[in-house]
């Protein structure tokens, strides 16, 4: 009865939190509230569906570039809705079993023994697993996360949370903590489904990962076709897909690709028909293009390592009777059937296409070559950055328990000389209302990158004229840059832009009206739906400038901006950095955990991952059909984690924890 109550309480709390978030959504509160109800009911009636939907929609369920939310996004609603449906279903099932058991106790002993269907006509007793070492370890890691979250909130000023807080404010601690806590919320449902219908759970997860990878790959093709050009491999443009978290750098797409690419191999290997194989092969090709056009050396290395792991755990049929197969040893070669002729020839063609893809990117452009050749220089800079990050840990308690979740950006930018943030935004409440203050970094740090205030606008039409109006105030002379750009996230493809100068002689507001004329369409491929940004950037002079009453009118007089007077805070407004991302990320999963949670938290995380690897290699899950792919995915993500922060990107971090828990509780059952 206690477990039934626990599931009911968790379902209720998750539902209330999801409804609270949906009701405060800046764009679609009513629609998302209705969607949340439908999604909860869908998961209740089909409990396994979340294992497909969450990985499949993870790359697209984030609209922060439109809403202005940084600490919360729409993917949180998907996870909370899945938790509501799963826990409600588990509570209902337990109540049903309890009522049935009470009914059975009134029957004769023989009727009790054969009361339910089974192979021999009698019900087998329900298996219950004891509360073991793995659960204790997860509980310890949860305690570490909670302690680090509270410590981070206290260091940031307490529980004074706001919907639009950024990376230096209290909400950032919850932003980083939520990935593990949401995965932990779904863990009871995951364990139950792996114990009862492991085959279906594995199929849903594999299909969801492959679908998510396909979505990211198509998004990369759309992005590159619209902005640098599909075959332009010389322009310094690195694909970001729909991972808005990369507006201040980071490795969101790197981590996702590392986790998802092995499931493209799964789709190819386990395709049952020629048609399914052709679809899986196309997925592998577009995924290869996505990996190559990130121009990330960590992605190249991690995908290569994952393919080596898969070659080790899934040897080719021609190795079956060779000496190398005996050297490999524990690999279950019997699971690899002798391929049909079409599969052999198709595999050779696919490998040839992938090799050709690599050669095309290398030969038709020089950006990849410049990235690879700069590896040694960048590694030296990365080592220095790690040393600066570790210098934040100054006392034994900080080394032991960390500085608190989410405090790296604030601590690093305020403590390390010359590493200040390239800019900040602050809503100022004044007697006449609210306005926005845009800060520049201190003079000692101004050699860093640019910092832009952004709002999504409809893509401009070539040759059209737009009128930008705003009120500005500065205490010293200042230079401001304004632009209307075709821009996906970090890189502008085509801009109508201008600059203006503020005298800064008094504290009075000055009204400015600017005319922006859109240039020609910069598309280099087939027509695509453009994404646009209005951008404002403080370029010189004053340390800050105040902005209010922003307005952007098209030629027909239609208003294109929302919340131009900032009466709703930062709703609809976004920001991005350029070329300089050091204050936001320490660029190492392991150092990141050490700074946030100390040695204790790092050891607990490594222990969790170690137990997952042990289960895949020598434990109960080693013979599961997904074991090699989970092993390759987790290994690849850790390779990315050597050179990049992963856990400060909530969606990839959630996926890492989900796959780790799946591997941790996997058993020897195959679809």
Q: Cβ of 265: how many Cβ atoms within 10 Å?
A: 22
pLDDT at 315: 65
Residues 373 and 252 in one domain: yes
Is a pLDDT exceeding 60 seen at residue 207?
yes
408 versus 117: which is more confidently predicted? 408
More confidently predicted of 217 and 555 = 217
pLDDT above 80: residue 128: no
Same domain for 334 and 475, yes or no, is: no
Q: In what order do the strands lie in the sheet with 478-487?
A: 492-502, 478-487, 532-541, 450-457, 574-578
Domain boundary among 347, 381, 415: 381
Q: Are 633 and 614 in contact (CB under 8 A)?
A: no
Q: Does residue 401 lie in a domain region? A: no
φ and ψ at residue 523, rounded to 5 degrees:
-65, 135
Pick from 579, 600, 625: which residue ends a domain? 579
Residues 356 and 431 in one domain: no
Nearest residue to 239 (alpha-carbon basis) of 214, 221, 256: 221
Q: Please give the residue range of the domain that contains residue 314.
A: 210-381
Does the pLDDT of residue 350 top 60, yes or no? Answer: yes
Same domain, 439 and 370: no
Q: Are residues 218 and 361 in the same domain?
A: yes
How would residue 668 be classed by pLDDT, with cut points 50, 70 and 90? low
Confidence bin at 446 (pLDDT 50/70/90): low
Residue 356 lies in a domain: yes
Question: Residue range 186-204: average pLDDT?
Answer: 92
CA torsion sign for 459, 463, 469, 473 is positive
pLDDT tens, position by position, 285-336:
999 999 999 999 999 999 999 999 999 998 655 344 444 444 444 444 444 4
**Residue at 144 is within a domain:** no
pLDDT band at 460; cut points 50, 70, 90: confident
What's the structural domain count of the chain? 3
- CA–CA dist 230, 526 (Å, integer): 10
Task: Determine the pLDDT at residue 635.
Answer: 97
Take residue 294 and report the two structure tokens written for it: 């990130």
Let me know if residue 587 belongs to a domain.
no
Q: Which among 316, 301, 306, 317 has a CA at the least distance from the CA of 284?
A: 306
The answer on 271 and 366 residing in a single domain is: yes
Q: What is the pLDDT of residue 66?
A: 95
pLDDT of 122 above 70: no
Supply the pLDDT for residue 317.
52
Which residue's structure tokens are 């850790």?
638
Q: What is the pLDDT of residue 520?
A: 65
Angle at 303 between CA 300 and CA 306, to 5 degrees: 150
pLDDT single digits (tens) 590-636: 999 999 999 999 999 999 999 999 999 998 888 889 999 999 999 99
Task: Quote the pLDDT of residue 118.
Answer: 38
Burial label, 94 (beta-carbon count in 10 A; 0-12, 13-18, 19+): middle
Q: How confident is the model at residue 2 (pLDDT cuts 50, 70, 90)?
A: confident
Decide which of 80, 114, 148 is a domain's last residue: 114
* Domain annotation covers residue 628: no
What pLDDT is recorded for position 485? 87
Is the pLDDT assigned to residue 105 strictly greater than 90? no
pTM here is 0.91
| CATH number of domain containing 475 | 2.60.120.260
Rounded CA-CA distance 539/243 in Å is 27
Give pLDDT, residue 123.
37
Give mean pLDDT, residues 558-586: 92
pLDDT at 670 over 50: no
| Mean pLDDT along residues 85-97 | 91
Q: So what's the pLDDT on residue 521? A: 58
452 and 340 in a common domain: no
Taking only the tens place, the pLDDT of each residue in 400-442 is: 999 999 999 999 999 998 888 888 999 998 767 899 999 987 7
Residue 15 has pLDDT above 80, yes or no: yes
Averaged pLDDT score across all residues of the chain: 87
457/350 same-domain check: no
Q: Count the residues in the chain.
A: 671
Asked if residue 531 belongs to a domain, the reply is yes
Distance CA 477, CA 461 (A): 34
Q: Are residues 2 and 109 in the same domain?
A: yes
> Which tops the pLDDT comparison, 348 or 505?
348
Do 445 and 541 belong to one domain?
A: yes
Alpha carbon distance 167, 584 (integer Å): 8
**Same domain, residue pair 376 and 431:** no
338 and 435 part of one domain: no
Taking only the tens place, the pLDDT of each residue in 231-284 is: 889 888 999 999 999 999 989 999 999 999 999 999 999 998 999 999 999 999
In a domain, 161, yes or no: no
Half-sphere exposure of 515 (CA within 13 A, CB side): 5
Tell me: the pLDDT tens digits for 357-374?
999 988 888 888 888 888
* 275 in a structural domain: yes
Tell me how far apart the alpha carbons of residues 141 and 153 are, in angstroms, rounded to a whole number: 18
């Amino acid at each position: 009865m206690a477990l039934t109550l626990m599931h009911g309480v968790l379902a209720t709390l998750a539902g209330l939190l999801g409804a609270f978030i949906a009701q405060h959504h800046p764009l679609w509160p009513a629609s998302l509230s209705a969607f949340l109800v439908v999604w909860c009911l869908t998961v209740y009636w089909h409990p396994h569906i979340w294992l497909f939907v969450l990985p499949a929609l993870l790359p697209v369920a984030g609209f922060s570039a439109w809403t202005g939310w940084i600490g919360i996004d729409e993917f949180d609603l998907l996870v909370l809705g899945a938790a509501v449906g799963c826990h409600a279903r588990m509570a209902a099932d337990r109540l049903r079993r309890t009522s049935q058991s009470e009914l059975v106790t009134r029957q004769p002993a023989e009727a009790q023994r054969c009361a339910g269907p089974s192979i021999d006509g009698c019900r087998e007793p329900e298996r219950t697993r004891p509360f073991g070492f793995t659960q204790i370890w997860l509980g310890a890691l949860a305690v570490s996360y909670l302690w680090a979250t509270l410590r981070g909130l206290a260091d940031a000023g307490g529980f004074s949370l706001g919907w639009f807080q950024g990376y230096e404010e209290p909400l950032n601690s919850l932003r980083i903590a939520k990935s593990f806590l949401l995965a932990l919320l779904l863990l009871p449902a995951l364990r139950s489904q792996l114990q009862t219908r492991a085959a279906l759970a594995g199929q849903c997860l594999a299909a969801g990962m492959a679908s998510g990878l396909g979505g990211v790959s198509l998004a990369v093709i759309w992005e590159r076709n619209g902005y640098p050009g599909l075959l332009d491999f010389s322009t310094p443009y690195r694909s970001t897909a729909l991972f808005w978290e990369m507006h201040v750098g980071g490795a969101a797409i790197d981590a996702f690709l590392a986790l998802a690419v092995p499931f493209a191999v799964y789709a190819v290997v386990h395709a049952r028909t020629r048609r399914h194989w052709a679809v899986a092969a196309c997925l592998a090709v577009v995924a290869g293009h996505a990996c190559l056009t990130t121009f990330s050396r960590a992605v190249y290395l991690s995908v290569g390592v994952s393919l080596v792991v898969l070659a080790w755990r899934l040897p080719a049929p021609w190795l079956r009777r060779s000496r190398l197969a005996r050297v490999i040893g524990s690999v279950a070669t019997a699971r690899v059937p002798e391929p049909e002729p079409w599969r052999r020839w198709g595999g050779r063609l696919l490998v040839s296409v992938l090799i050709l893809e690599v050669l095309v990117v290398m030969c038709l452009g020089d950006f990849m070559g410049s990235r690879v050749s700069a590896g040694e220089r960048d590694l030296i800079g990365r080592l220095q950055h790690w040393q600066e990050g570790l210098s934040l840990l100054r006392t034994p308690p900080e080394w032991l328990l960390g500085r608190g979740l989410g405090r790296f950006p604030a601590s690093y930018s305020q403590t390390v000389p010359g590493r200040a943030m390239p800019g900040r935004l602050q809503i100022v409440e004044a007697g006449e209302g609210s306005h926005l203050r845009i800060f520049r970094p201190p003079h000692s740090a101004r050699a860093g990158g640019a910092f832009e205030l952004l709002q999504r606008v409809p893509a401009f039409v070539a040759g059209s004229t737009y009128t930008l109006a705003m009120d500005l105030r500065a205490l010293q002379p200042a230079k401001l840059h304004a632009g209307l750009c075709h821009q996906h996230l970090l890189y502008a493809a085509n801009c109508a832009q201008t600059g203006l100068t503020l005298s800064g002689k008094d504290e009075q507001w000055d009204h400015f009206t600017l005319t922006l004329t859109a240039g020609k369409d910069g598309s280099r491929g087939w027509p695509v739906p453009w994404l646009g940004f209005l951008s404002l950037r403080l370029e010189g002079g004053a340390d800050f400038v105040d902005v209010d009453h922003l307005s952007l009118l098209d030629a027909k007089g239609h208003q294109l901006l929302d919340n131009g007077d900032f009466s709703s805070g930062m709703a609809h407004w976004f920001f991005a950095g350029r070329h300089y991302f050091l204050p936001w990320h320490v660029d190492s999963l392991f150092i990141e955990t050490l700074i946030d949670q100390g040695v204790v938290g790092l050891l607990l995380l490594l222990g969790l991952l170690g137990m997952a690897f042990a289960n895949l290699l020598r434990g109960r899950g080693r013979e599961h059909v997904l074991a090699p792919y989970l092993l390759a995915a987790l290994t690849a993500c850790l390779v990315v984690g050597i050179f990049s922060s992963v856990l400060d990107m909530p969606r990839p971090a959630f996926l890492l924890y989900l796959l780790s828990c799946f591997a941790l509780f996997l058993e020897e059952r195959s679809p």
